[in-house]
Structure 1
């Protein structure tokens, strides 16, 4: 990390970070969307005017403001306006509907709710009315406006809870995760430090800004002073021309995005899909090694993958100058200040190379949950977050994820890692994507069920053929799937396209 970025990373609050960057490079662009450009100076000044408009509506420091908005320049302005006021903001993924939105509004006790009106065929304003939301206002292309002279001083305490993010609910109801400005700055600093970016880079935000990855990414832009292209709704066929037009150098989002890039690259083998692109980066879901090798081999770019969650926006990240072996098989290393502890079933730390549950402690870790009862079981007696993820540390400090506690299938008393089987299935020529789950079984306790997406143009995979392939790759016989389901598309969430394994268990169990 260069000296300027390091100094900016010490900012106490997000607003201080915005103000300091605007003072350094006011005329440099920060956000690009279609034909629109917003500079760092315009981000600061526009957010202040919006903050004044919100203040006139009754929003005060500490007010809880929920917003469910697509990834637009206005959304970023509104979010930083709330940061300027010191309000508590609760971003909600724009694809969520009554059940999830109602849950978030109730749990956060939001006094205000910003919506886009009707967006992509759904009337968010009407939904807010059905849910009895308070202080509803539309903020799609017009934002509240006022004279910044009316504003109180900016917040100074970066350790106060000012953010409520919602887990994706891939296993159960969402949880409201409490964050501070400093925890978000720490997460974004980890990402920025690992990727070795410069002021000459051009990034892209292809996922909902309401996701915890939104501030992660914008912190990186503020630290290094480069812009990113925003996509209101991501679709590869419309995104590619924008990547090319703006000369994007860094793209990605999650494993599903890497697969989408590969699909397009395979339509034009031998050509550079995006001539300026040099790096794909992301996280949020496991990365099979075969995906890494295919991206490097077929696209001619580097791929770095990281490990994060709503509770800790960035834990580890691969670095572009790391070895191919580490980039393919690990999630990278943690930054200074992030402690990773691997423990056994009794909570005792285990040595390098031994699998165990991953626990975390550091500035980027959340402050707990809106429901205090959830927090009581989520932190151990030494203040480490209990993640429920399984993995091990290499002697080099690189983290290897091997699954989640819930992804450990117990078949006839033997522990089986779903991720081990998934990584091998990704190498099968007829498989585009795969998810492995354990299903209740009277005889075995659990049986192994593989659910796969068929690769376009490939034949229909059969259980016998898949089992033969897995045995040929060296998988132990007791780990072979006993059930195979072939689907057109795996169920996913709308943020980073994570597979919803609970839906697979419900469907096939």
Structure 2
């Protein structure tokens, strides 16, 4: 029987992929959490029993089931059980509260809602009742259980919409993003082909499994048959013990995660933070080139960064064997099957990993062009070697006196300033100029507070054009961030400083 990742990637559905892996390597571990280990065979068996329990509750193919659960093995089991039934899943980030959760429940018309009960001091069951959610059940009091003999056959195809993910809402109200099993498998296959995991690798899922990156990573585990450590709550330095206990070789999540690892390494220079670690990998937010060089120089590991979004879980990814220049300054190259087109500077995408659209048909019509390419709203260019360079957002372009200014260009330069820990550059309304450039920075630990004169002098020395120089500087203790991949919420900064 062919056991190559390529053969497994042809699986029709997510359940088909799990079934194939469980039959090939049933005893090999897949999910590690604390002292608990779950094998591929046990994962399949438990998911099927849970599917039978859900079937007894009335869940059928096409039933919409929302779940708001932290990153635990039980969460993965429940999600795979729903995949076995062919239900439509609507995963919700566990940090979200009444506004976001109520919106998602209403828009998806969820018929069941799985919650963790009281988690981190917050009563999710009470919130669900307050919102009038249907079919509420507490997953962690015991997963539904039943005899798999009652189950209908698993889904025969993976092209029907069975997933509703939600955009982060960092710039507007969340959108319900429609995915299929095949689009998620395609995204995970892209990640697997880029990272080329080794048989002895141990991965890690330190971000919410309800994020689009959850199934992305799971597909990679199923394709290559290696395990990952699950983190229900990620915090440094506490998480280091689990990384060391399991000998994690691939870690990461997003730019904020890289920065946290690097900060811990700087507390013990000269001593490897994680001796087993060989690769930091992730995406979801811009990566300053200086961060790549610092990780490589101070941690002695390779950092590969990719480009993805809720609508397309994996678009490009860095190659561990690529040049330092490409790894530092680009988002990597797209895999076979992902078409990238640059139209008037905007990145547009077409391929199997692209979502089917949105719950709102009007949003779908607006998002895709006449040739079926998704308009990402990101600005970029392709190098001669096929690497993608992101230069900013369509909505993140500052227009000063009719000149377009890339916020990312300024951010990348300021990220290397010794007094700057992190930075976000925004445009603020200006009656004469249209917009003016404002840099909001976190001060680096132990560094003097940066001043506007010092910042502009530094940028001048780096060769930045005069018309792009910040006209305002704000120093904050911490930039506002989302709870999933810790993206900076620029709309909050604009709200805070626009009237000041």
Whether TM-score is above 0.5 comes out as yes
In structure 2, the partner of 1:475 is 464
1:193-226: CA deviation from partner (whole Å, max 9, x where unpaired):
0011122100000000000000000000000000
Question: C-alpha separation between the residues in 1 aligned to 2:409 and 2:286?
Answer: 11
Question: C-alpha separation between the residues in 2 aligned to 1:301 and 1:142?
Answer: 40
In structure 2, the partner of 1:212 is 212
TM-score by structure 1 length? 0.97
Question: C-alpha separation between the residues in 2 aligned to 1:304 and 1:467?
Answer: 31
1:355-410: CA deviation from partner (whole Å, max 9, x where unpaired):
x1000000000000011111110000000000100000001110000000011100
Question: C-alpha separation between the residues in 2 aligned to 1:129 and 1:261?
Answer: 39
Three-state SS of the structure 1 residue aligned to 2:60 is coil
- Pair 1:386 & 2:375 matched: yes
Using the TM superposition, give the Cα deviation of residue 140 of structure 1 relative to its aligned residue in structure 2, in angstroms: 2.1
Conservation of the 8 A alpha-carbon contact between 2:159 and 2:182: yes
Three-state SS of the structure 2 residue aligned to 1:127 is helix
Aligned residues, how many? 497
Conservation of the 8 A alpha-carbon contact between 1:82 and 1:89: yes
Conservation of the 8 A alpha-carbon contact between 1:339 and 1:362: yes
1:6-62: CA deviation from partner (whole Å, max 9, x where unpaired):
000010000000000000000000000000000000110000000000000000000
In structure 2, the partner of 1:133 is 133
1:114-151: CA deviation from partner (whole Å, max 9, x where unpaired):
00001001100000001000000001251000000000
Three-state SS of the structure 2 residue aligned to 1:42 is helix
In structure 1, the partner of 2:416 is 427
Conservation of the 8 A alpha-carbon contact between 1:390 and 1:402: yes
In structure 2, the partner of 1:148 is 148
Q: Once superposed, which parts of structure 1, at least 4 consecutive aligned residues long, lie more than 4 Å away?
A: none
Question: C-alpha separation between the residues in 2 aligned to 1:303 and 1:340?
Answer: 23
Conservation of the 8 A alpha-carbon contact between 1:31 and 1:73: yes
Given the alignment, which residue of 389, 395, 402 partners 1:413?
402
In structure 1, the partner of 2:227 is 227
1:241-295: CA deviation from partner (whole Å, max 9, x where unpaired):
1001100000000000010011000000001000000000000000000000000
- Pair 1:493 & 2:482 matched: yes
**Aligned Cα root-mean-square deviation (Å):** 0.8
Using the TM superposition, give the Cα deviation of residue 186 of structure 1 relative to its aligned residue in structure 2, in angstroms: 0.2
Given the alignment, which residue of 341, 346, 352 partners 1:363?
352
Three-state SS of the structure 2 residue aligned to 1:201 is coil
- Pair 1:113 & 2:110 matched: no
Three-state SS of the structure 2 residue aligned to 1:390 is strand
1:464-485: CA deviation from partner (whole Å, max 9, x where unpaired):
1111111111111110001111
In structure 1, the partner of 2:75 is 75
Using the TM superposition, give the Cα deviation of residue 236 of structure 1 relative to its aligned residue in structure 2, in angstroms: 1.5
TM-score by structure 2 length? 0.99
Conservation of the 8 A alpha-carbon contact between 1:74 and 1:141: no
Three-state SS of the structure 1 residue aligned to 2:75 is helix
1:399-422: CA deviation from partner (whole Å, max 9, x where unpaired):
000000011100001110000000
Question: C-alpha separation between the residues in 2 aligned to 1:215 and 1:502?
Answer: 28
In structure 2, the partner of 1:353 is none
Conservation of the 8 A alpha-carbon contact between 1:84 and 1:154: yes
Question: C-alpha separation between the residues in 2 aligned to 1:199 and 1:116?
Answer: 34
Question: C-alpha separation between the residues in 1 aligned to 2:318 and 2:141?
Answer: 37
Conservation of the 8 A alpha-carbon contact between 1:113 and 1:136: yes
In structure 1, the partner of 2:282 is 282
Conservation of the 8 A alpha-carbon contact between 2:3 and 2:24: no
In structure 2, the partner of 1:102 is 102
Runs (5+) with no aligned partner, structure 2 = none
Runs (5+) with no aligned partner, structure 1 = 345-355
Conservation of the 8 A alpha-carbon contact between 1:69 and 1:140: no
Three-state SS of the structure 1 residue aligned to 2:204 is strand
